[in-house]
């Protein structure tokens, strides 16, 4: 039996998909499929400022798509999409970490924080 949708469900779905429409956010989520990441690692991978990375993550966190965990002075992010099958489906179509790093012409990330990955 199909689940009934109302306008609020469709609005939430559209808002979530809008967030995934940004290349940087989509690639961040694709990286988060495999492990948690620190802001400093995203700064190195995407070669954009820490405030810009934090803004992307803030938007994803505000919709409950990622969660954060403070480890010492660093904040690590992980996926929080158990209740978002539409995002899970999109992320199944995204490349893995080595492919993303190659696409962005980046080498594997050097550890910039106290947690070794």
How far apart CA 4 and CA 65 sit, in angstroms, is 22
Please give the distance of CA 18 from its chain centroid, rounded to a whole number: 14
> 96 and 102 in contact (C-beta within 8 Å)?
no
Domain map (residue ranges) of the chain? 8-101
How far apart CA 1 and CA 103 sit, in angstroms, is 41
Using one digit for the tens of pLDDT, what is the confidence trace for 36-73?
999 989 999 999 999 999 999 999 999 999 999 998 88
Confidence at residue 3, expressed as pLDDT on a 0 to 100 scale: 67
How far apart CA 90 and CA 77 sit, in angstroms, is 19
Using one digit for the tens of pLDDT, what is the confidence trace for 95-110?
999 999 999 998 876 6
Q: In CATH, which of 3.40.190.10, 3.40.50.2000, 1.10.10.10, 1.10.8.60 is domain 8-101?
A: 1.10.10.10
């Amino acid at each position: 039996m199909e689940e009934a949708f109302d306008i609020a469900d469709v609005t939430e779905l559209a808002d979530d998909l809008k967030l995934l429409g940004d290349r940087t956010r989509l690639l961040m989520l694709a990286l988060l499929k495999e492990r948690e990441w620190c802001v400093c690692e995203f700064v190195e991978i995407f070669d954009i400022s820490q405030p810009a990375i934090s803004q992307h993550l803030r938007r994803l966190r505000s919709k409950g798509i990622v969660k954060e965990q403070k480890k010492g002075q660093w904040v690590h992010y992980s996926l929080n999409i158990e209740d978002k099958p539409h995002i899970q489906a999109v992320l199944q179509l995204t490349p893995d970490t080595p492919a993303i790093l190659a696409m962005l012409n980046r080498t594997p990330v050097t550890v910039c924080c106290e947690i070794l990955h």
